[in-house]
Amino acid sequence: MRTATFSARKYDGDCPNSWAVFNKLSLRGVPAGIVFYGQAVPVMVGMDRSEAQRVATRMTRQAAEKG
């Protein structure tokens, strides 16, 4: 079974708090750059860039530990 991996991406906006965490499987077929509403379903939204990166890293690590 494949472990879930998560990614922080800019989501549907240009303000500093428009970053979201996505499951990488939901980003298949979405071009690099800003993810717009309807292209993929975010796991968490409303974060700045550094917070989104920390959350994505932590969620990926936790998913790997659960195996």
pLDDT of 1 > 80? The answer is no
pLDDT band at 2; cut points 50, 70, 90? confident
Going by C-alpha positions, the residue among 34, 38, 10, 14 that lies closest to residue 26 is 38
pLDDT of res. 44: 95
**pLDDT per residue as tens digits for the range 14-49:** 888 899 999 999 999 999 889 999 999 999 999 999
* Out of 11-15, 35-39, 51-55, least confident range: 11-15
pTM of the model: 0.88
